[in-house]
Structure 1
Amino acid sequence: MRPIVTADKEPDGSARGRVEWDRAGFMVARSGPDYPSDLAALSDGARDREGEEVTTGRYPVVNVTESRELQAMLQLAVPGVTSYYDESDRQRTAWLVHPDGSWARASATWIDPPEVHQSGPQRLWTRLERIRDRINAEGGLPLYGSRVHITPDGVVHFARGAWRASYGEPAGVDIGG
């Protein structure tokens, strides 16, 4: 899920505009030695392994791919994250995996709080729950309708009210609280 940005180019090569309320989706084109990705193997390993950290989640398991704004915010917070989801009868399971080796698995019956397993350098489910905290506290997420400044080197800066985020910097962004 990618937001649609309309912007005007500035004389210095930067651009200023805003994120539109419409949504767009596309797959990143890949070829060469990184295809197929090691994420598939990481995802398979995350299906049943015990995590370095095991907790109880705050919110029901969600299909991130079907929640477009949630997916866009998670990709801003953790560039490169991929999500998977399975629902069988009333059992829901979601996986988040990242190329750095981080993974998370959350599983629960229907809307019960999930058991969450996480491993790797990042706590992916924790990052997702911080985004969901924001939805509950503010009634929505700030990405759509935000102002955008794209620097000449391609870093994208978003702003809406007190919220700020940047995309294109190696560490990703902190979109919480």
Structure 2
Amino acid sequence: MPSKERTIDSVSDWTDAARKLADEVTAAAPEWHDSVSSTPRHQLVPRWWEPIPDSYPFAWGLRTPKPDQQWAEVYADETLVTRVGALHADYADLSDRPAGLPTSSSTLPGLIVRMLHLLDPHKHDQVLDVGTGSGYSAALLAHRLGDKQVTSIDLDPYLVDAARERLADFGRTPRLEIADATGSLPDTNYDRIMATVAVRPIPPAWLDALRAGGKIVTTITGTSLMINADKHPDGVVRGHVQPDPATFMRTRRETDYPARLDHVFNAARDQPGDETRQLTGPIPDLWDDWQLRCLYELDTPDIENRSATRDDGSQLLWLLAADGSWARADSETKTIHQSGPRGLWDDLQRVQARWTAAGRFPLDTMTVELREDRNALIGPDGHWTLEL
């Protein structure tokens, strides 16, 4: 009888688990198979955080590998959150229950491989890895290109020190530096720049440090847009939005991100607004319709959206801004409520109407132009330009 196909759950050695992960995530990028299969992710992420179901405020519990399935989770194609707020999993006790937003993670390997495939580094390229995190991206790059070709930066001294030590434990010694991703860089010349933190705009230092013919792969803060762009002889970095969504944590200078807008939500939850009018169409689903959500964020940045579905299937959508502006759409009462200095629902409708009039073009048909004084995404007809 033919033997059953093994799953990671039944694998006893990490190299088998890593090889299985490599088989899964490098099918479209075979040049990275050896790097993935040779990198001991468990040494870079010995413990991590997982959300506690049905907790509010959102709380996290500490996880370590299960004794009977030692490699099942760490070698799955999943993101492992390593820090919540100021508390890194390395320093945590099993009783800790931090609440808040993730501030560092080891990104799902499949996404890292997709970005590396777009980056397409060559043997002698100097590569800047922005956002060291656990050190996994730096490990893959250093394995394929050599340690001397890779520089990795992170704002957090502990992340840099821990990654340096853990990488060295299995023979990898890329250059790791503590640096603000939006400020000065360790060097002034790179052939490739890849960021696993989101930025907006693209920092001028990146554009200046990128050599002619070099590539940047990064994501745009607050959106699910990944861009891949090349530096041309005229100094302009030009490229395209990629078809599949990808989201990373935004750059930060503080230990934690600003708190969610609960105080605005409390006012918006069920109170009448300064303005009330009839809902004339379906409420957009800003989670499933990620392209509309991205266009809205690019047009009207930093709007927090929350949604709910009642037992009867009726829907609610809240739009919240730090200046106290809010909007609530309710499909049961078919009403829109708005308050504050800005009309957030009006802004969403305006963006939705303009995109509809333009034929709801896929966002991967947008081109990117990055200059030190101006970043822009340009629609396929050239008539809609969104500044970053």
Q: TM-score by structure 1 length?
A: 0.79
Query: Within 5 Å, which residues of 2 pair with 1:42-121?
Result: 42-88=264-310, 89-109=312-332, 114-121=334-341
Query: Within 5 Å, which residues of 2 pair with 1:115-154?
Result: 115-141=335-361, 143-153=363-373
SS of match in other structure, 1:44: helix
User: For residues 145 and 87 of structure 1, what CA distance do their matches in structure 2 show?
Assistant: 33
**Bigger radius of gyration:** 2
User: For residues 166 and 131 of structure 1, what CA distance do their matches in structure 2 show?
Assistant: 11
Question: How far 1:90 sits from its partner (Å)?
Answer: 2.2
Cα gap change, 1:97 to 1:134, in 2 (>3 Å): same
CA offsets 1:143-176 (integer angstroms, 9 cap, x no match) = 33111111214x42121214322334xxxxxxxx
Hey, what does 1:2 align to over in structure 2?
Answer: 224
The letter for the 2-side match of 1:95 is W
Question: How far 1:84 sits from its partner (Å)?
Answer: 0.4
User: For residues 74 and 7 of structure 1, what CA distance do their matches in structure 2 show?
Assistant: 23
Is the contact between residue 279 and residue 331 of structure 2 (CA under 8 Å) also seen in structure 1? no
User: For residues 235 and 279 of structure 2, what CA distance do their matches in structure 1 show?
Assistant: 44
2:259 alignment partner, one of 16, 19, 36: 36
User: For residues 41 and 16 of structure 1, what CA distance do their matches in structure 2 show?
Assistant: 41
The letter for the 1-side match of 2:384 is R
Deviates more, 1:94-103 or 1:23-32: 23-32
Cα gap change, 1:158 to 1:33, in 2 (>3 Å): closer
Cα gap change, 1:11 to 1:43, in 2 (>3 Å): farther
Question: How far 1:15 sits from its partner (Å)?
Answer: 1.4
Is the contact between residue 7 and residue 16 of structure 1 (CA under 8 Å) also seen in structure 2? yes
The letter for the 1-side match of 2:344 is L
The letter for the 1-side match of 2:340 is G
CA offsets 1:63-83 (integer angstroms, 9 cap, x no match) = 212211011011011110111
CA offsets 1:113-147 (integer angstroms, 9 cap, x no match) = x3001112221111111222234434314633111
User: For residues 256 and 377 of structure 2, what CA distance do their matches in structure 1 show?
Assistant: 33
**Runs of 5+ unmatched residues, structure 1:** 169-177
Hey, what does 1:166 align to over in structure 2?
Answer: 386
Is the contact between residue 63 and residue 84 of structure 1 (CA under 8 Å) also seen in structure 2? no
The letter for the 2-side match of 1:8 is D
User: For residues 245 and 336 of structure 2, what CA distance do their matches in structure 1 show?
Assistant: 30
User: For residues 10 and 136 of structure 1, what CA distance do their matches in structure 2 show?
Assistant: 33
User: For residues 56 and 106 of structure 1, what CA distance do their matches in structure 2 show?
Assistant: 9
User: For residues 150 and 95 of structure 1, what CA distance do their matches in structure 2 show?
Assistant: 33
Hey, what does 2:185 align to over in structure 1?
Answer: none
Deviates more, 1:76-85 or 1:125-134: 125-134
Cα gap change, 1:125 to 1:143, in 2 (>3 Å): same
SS of match in other structure, 2:346: helix
Cα gap change, 1:73 to 1:7, in 2 (>3 Å): same
Question: How far 1:55 sits from its partner (Å)?
Answer: 1.2
**Runs of 5+ unmatched residues, structure 2:** 1-222
User: For residues 81 and 90 of structure 1, what CA distance do their matches in structure 2 show?
Assistant: 25
Cα gap change, 1:163 to 1:59, in 2 (>3 Å): farther
Is the contact between residue 12 and residue 152 of structure 1 (CA under 8 Å) also seen in structure 2? no
Is the contact between residue 13 and residue 152 of structure 1 (CA under 8 Å) also seen in structure 2? no
The letter for the 1-side match of 2:316 is T
Q: Does 1:22 align with 2:244?
A: yes
Q: CA RMSD in A?
A: 2.4
Cα gap change, 1:12 to 1:79, in 2 (>3 Å): farther
